[in-house]
Amino acid sequence: MNRQYNHRLNAYRIMWVLVLFDLPTETKKDRKAYARFRKNLMNDGFNMFQFSIYMRHCPSRENADVHIKRVKTILPEKGHVGIFQFTDKQFGMIELFYGKSATTTAPPSQQLEMF
């Protein structure tokens, strides 16, 4: 296999971006801001991991930085938002449970990269 191709798919180079948020929903305006923020995340390719936790697979740190900058431009006026980024290797070490039973993580869908 091509060395450059291997480098691009290296588990230490591939990144995951997690956006965690706790936004107010007391007023109609708050609920609208919540829905807009969530919709904007999904439009940028984020998928729900759990309620108020969305994640996105990125082929490189540079690509992750682009999506993090986008999230920063859509931050709502109120609430708390956290952004994490970590390698695919680190993501592979996550332990998930449903109740007390361990579950396996589904492998990420392979994204098509256009040049």
Q: Any idea where the domains of the chain sit in the sequence?
A: 3-103
| pLDDT tens sequence across 52-100 | 999 999 999 999 999 999 999 999 999 999 999 999 999 989 888 888 8
pLDDT of residue 96: 85
**Residues in contact with 10: Cβ distance below 8 Å, sequence separation at least 6, in sequence order:** none
Backbone angles phi, psi at 6, to 5 degrees: -60, -40
Is the pLDDT reported for residue 7 higher than 60? no
Mean pLDDT calculated for residue range 24-43: 97
**Residues in contact with 7: Cβ distance below 8 Å, sequence separation at least 6, in sequence order:** 13
CATH code at 3-103 = 3.30.70.240
Q: What is the largest CA-CA distance in the chain?
A: 56
**pTM over the 0.85 mark:** no
Distance CA 69, CA 31 (A): 23
pLDDT of residue 2: 53
